[in-house]
Chain A
Amino acid sequence: MSEPNHARRLGAIWLVATLIATPLVIFVLGPVLPPGNGSEQASGHVTDNTVLMAVMTPVLLLLIVYFVYALVAFRQEPGGILEGPAIRGNARVQIAWIVVTSAIVLSLAAYGTARLLEDGAGSGGGSSPVVVPAGPKLQVQVIGQQWAFTYRYPSYGGVETPHLVLPVGQMVELHVTSLDVVHSFWAYQLGVKADANPGQDNIAFVKPTELESFSVRCSELCGLWHGYMFDHGNVVSAADFKSWIAQQRVKFAPSQKLLPPYSTTYIPEPARRAG
């Protein structure tokens, strides 16, 4: 019995599997991938995740098909002591592998860079972000402290509220900072994450596109009640936002006088532990 052409068989199985799986990943799995379409940035992440998944599927299938095939086709018979062929390498296969893997990872890096530079991707971009989206922006400051976030609206008299409410369709410029230890502001449905560092301003941009409630969680371990450092925010219409912020200004007017003046960073006292 002559040896079948393993390479051709493998290639055929892989090709069929890829042709079936990749469209499924793109068109069935893609649309349900997180974090949803709460903002332009979140929708961007869905696209990114879909692209990454689509590129990964053929790679994953190639390896799995290969390993399963090898385990089925290239077995020692039970109790056998046969030796395999003494092949020590194949320059063409090696070069092809290096070229293909390099091409894949370099194009992924290029794609990631392009997407990052498009609108900052909702990711904390430091105190002077490289990418600043054009157009008017609503500034909101996110202040992390053990164990809650508060939000300041400098363009509305610096009012500070315990809830984040954003107008829909408006580009928001979040300035994230901390009063004590490192926190991380994570608005899941909006696709935004930025670390809150003491004495540092960390800017992220987000443009909410859907009227919805979103969750905010701290995603950097910040001590005892880290797991409880969450709240909910809302994306509302422009008119609702106007009336909400007016209410907040009235409601928090008494405490506003006691707060320090608005600043993009708050450097904590080098206060040591109690004692």
Chain B
Amino acid sequence: MSDTEAAERAAMPTWRRLLGFNLLTAVILAIVGYYFGWWLGNQFSSSSRDYVADLDYNDVALILAYLFGVVGFLVGLGFANYPLARLIGRPPSLRAKEGRGVSRYFGLCTDHKVVGMQYLVGIGIFFFVGGVNAMLIRLELLNPTPTTIGPSQYLSLVGMHGTMMMGMMTSGILGPFANYFVPLMIGARRMAFPRIEALTFWLLMAAGFILMSTIFFGGFPTGWTGYQPLADQTVAGMDSYLCFFALVGLSMTLLGLNMLATIISLRAPGLTWSRLPIFVWAVFATSILMVLAAPMLIGTLLMAMLDRTIDTSFFVAGAGGSSFLYENLFWFFGHPEVYVLALPGFGIVLELIPVFTRKPLWGYRLAVAGMLGVSLMSFFVWQHHLFVSGINAALRPFYMLSTEIISIPTGFIFLCVMGTLWRARITLAVPMLFCLGWAFNFLIGGLSGVFLSDAPSDTDTHGSFFVMAHFHYTIMGGLIFTFFAAIYYWVPKMTGLSFNERLAKVHFWVMFIAFNSTFLPLFVLGMKGMPRRVSTYADNLQGLNVWVSVSAFVLGLSMLVFLVNLVYSLLIARNRSPHNPWRSKSLEWQTPTPVPVNNFEQIPVIESDPYDYGVPLAGNGVS
């Protein structure tokens, strides 16, 4: 909006300013849509009764309620304005709410920097909720028999923790950091599809609230995998899971498409593929996975919804369906999904390590090949999740081979990190510490994966705490550590304020030690025969479980250290950050802080890759 427009709005009384397409309208329309869907569903479907959970529920009504609620929410935010304006022949506004002011952070805004900040805060909140769930799970596991939490609530917590983390954190790095920095890194003024960019964020927020609403409908007992026919059998809380994950899938697909289009078509002159920052390559590889895998998830969940609502039987044995079908479809999405979580972390590490070693990235082409290789290979390994299931048992050697092979391109990433450290000038700044933490955690995660990829050995470890420890090492140790590396590295650029370094170091060390102290013993517990997702276990495992729980609470505490630092540094102390505190040569640091709405006054011409370290007096690659 223009300055005069803004001034006019400021002069209006408060009630008048609240009218319009904003978050308040969105919430009101979401509630209206929700009850309309609920009413509509009850018109042509009667409710079921679950005698175990003592609940009445109507799947049709709930799914329609969610659907219309989301539509109402998006319309209220103003997502319908552009297509409607085009339909009635009005000149549409190409950009929405890119003016100044805090209010643009609370509505539809097509400025990629605003969307990046929205993602960071939004995902941060849901990460916190998922973390609290984990704390409650560990609270229950202090005792070998249920004490604090009943088995039903326990399974709901397990399901919410897993689904929240796997769903929301898929966009954990791409949402905030790729949206914010990819255009800056490639010398573009915006993303290719700014409205779609905003849509991905608001879809994800709507999805997050839908998942949390499951507690009002009995929760869901299936964990994040939603296996059939258990999911078909259970109460209405399952519909929250289905709607949540389908919306996340939609958001992921759109996010990936937008990233691919942006990276392919909006690069600055001279930014050839071999000069692309390695983080952008990681985003590119991740986006390929998102675009190809996430639609599979949407389709699978749609089938599950139809099974639950109109009694199709895609997954019901004895009526032409099969539980194997669901497992195949789910993991065809599910395995690329875990690389959607891992690849952006690779990108962050490879992007940051040259800055803190003052060396060019070692083996740039190998790193690119590694990430593209992982992304391609990840479509050929999904049945290693089903080694003991009896599905296509004769194909187990193939999936063993493909799974082992995927560690070759993953090894490239390690080699590039190690090559960059060789004879470097390492500074142990906080982002670098988190990158080194990633290296250790992902090493343990990767090596433990060898036990799981080996079909004979997997017989013991499948479905046990060993698997749980393994994927927490790769996802929490891989993704969340690099997520924090990115926060400490880039938030000074995003806000112009610097973090308290001492608190940040305390955060890292407490988090790193507590993380390993939590998850290393879980390998032992798994090998001693403790299955996943149970609230009861053998008495002789209590000692280790108490150790793990206490470590997990300390791990939770380390997140509070971060929150304190966040509040103190960004809200109370507000120390201005130096313009380029890490002396990075990458393009995003060459823009002024705060970054102007149009990013660059003139589109830069790129003459080299951004890793021009180690050459005295070299330019920064920008002319």
A269-B318 in contact given A84-B357, A221-B230 (Cβ < 8 Å): yes
Given the complex, which residues of A lie within 8 Å of B392, measured CB to CB? 126
Given the complex, which residues of B lie within 8 Å of A140, measured CB to CB? none
A123-B458 in contact given A70-B418, A87-B359, A270-B318 (Cβ < 8 Å): yes
A55 smallest CB distance to B (angstroms):
8
Q: List 13 A-B contacts (CB under 8 A).
A: A45-B457, A74-B423, A89-B362, A97-B415, A98-B412, A105-B407, A122-B456, A123-B458, A124-B389, A188-B460, A195-B386, A220-B227, A226-B533
Given the complex, which residues of B lie within 8 Å of A257, measured CB to CB? none
B window 319-356: CB within 8 A of A: 319, 322-324, 327
A206 to B450, CA, bound (A): 24
| In contact, B529 and A215 (Cβ under 8 angstroms) | yes
Cβ of B454 < 8 Å from any Cβ of A?
A: yes
| In contact, A52 and B451 (Cβ under 8 angstroms) | yes
Q: Which of A16-24, A153-161, A178-186, A238-246 contacts B (4 or more CB under 8 A)?
A: A178-186
| In contact, B529 and A217 (Cβ under 8 angstroms) | yes
A window 61-105: CB within 8 A of B: 63-64, 66-67, 70-71, 74-76, 80-90, 93-94, 97-98, 101-102, 105
Cβ of A15 < 8 Å from any Cβ of B?
A: no
* Residue from B415, B456, B533 in contact with A123 in the complex, judged by beta carbons closer than 8 Å: B456
Cβ of B87 < 8 Å from any Cβ of A?
A: no
**Residues on B facing A (Cβ under 8 Å):** 47-52, 151-152, 154-155, 221-223, 225, 227-230, 232-235, 311, 313, 316-319, 322-324, 327, 357-366, 386-394, 396-397, 400-401, 404-405, 407-408, 411-412, 414-415, 418-419, 421-428, 436, 439-440, 443, 447, 450-451, 453-460, 462-464, 527-529, 531-536, 538, 583, 611, 613-616
Cβ of A202 < 8 Å from any Cβ of B?
A: yes
B218 smallest CB distance to A (angstroms):
11
A269 to B414, CA, bound (A): 52
A182 smallest CB distance to B (angstroms):
5
**Residues on A facing B (Cβ under 8 Å):** 6, 33-35, 41, 44-45, 48-49, 52, 55-56, 59-60, 63-64, 66-67, 70-71, 74-76, 80-90, 93-94, 97-98, 101-102, 105-106, 108-109, 112-113, 115-117, 121-127, 129-130, 176, 180-182, 184, 186, 188, 191-195, 197-203, 215, 217-228, 267-270, 272-275
| In contact, A126 and B360 (Cβ under 8 angstroms) | no
| In contact, B450 and A85 (Cβ under 8 angstroms) | no
- How many cross-chain pairs have Cβ atoms below 8 Å apart between A and B? 320
| In contact, A198 and B457 (Cβ under 8 angstroms) | no
Main secondary structure of the interface of A (DSSP, over half): mixed
A112 smallest CB distance to B (angstroms):
4
Given the complex, which residues of B lie within 8 Å of A84, measured CB to CB? 357-359, 423-425, 613-614
Given the complex, which residues of B lie within 8 Å of A82, measured CB to CB? 358, 425
| In contact, B422 and A124 (Cβ under 8 angstroms) | no
| In contact, B529 and A130 (Cβ under 8 angstroms) | no
| In contact, A109 and B408 (Cβ under 8 angstroms) | no
A60 to B442, CA, bound (A): 11
Q: Which residue of B lies closest to A185 (CB)?
A: B388
A103 smallest CB distance to B (angstroms):
10
Q: Which residue of B lies closest to A3 (CB)?
A: B423
A267 to B393, CA, bound (A): 21
A80 to B47, CA, bound (A): 71
A12 smallest CB distance to B (angstroms):
17
A195 to B230, CA, bound (A): 14
* Residue from B47, B323, B407, B427 in contact with A275 in the complex, judged by beta carbons closer than 8 Å: B47
A28 smallest CB distance to B (angstroms):
16
A89-B615 in contact given A74-B425, A130-B394, A181-B227 (Cβ < 8 Å): no
Given the complex, which residues of B lie within 8 Å of A186, measured CB to CB? 463, 529, 531
Q: Which residue of A lies closest to B356 (CB)?
A: A76
A82 to B425, CA, bound (A): 7
A69 to B434, CA, bound (A): 18
| In contact, B456 and A116 (Cβ under 8 angstroms) | yes
A89 to B447, CA, bound (A): 25
A46 smallest CB distance to B (angstroms):
10
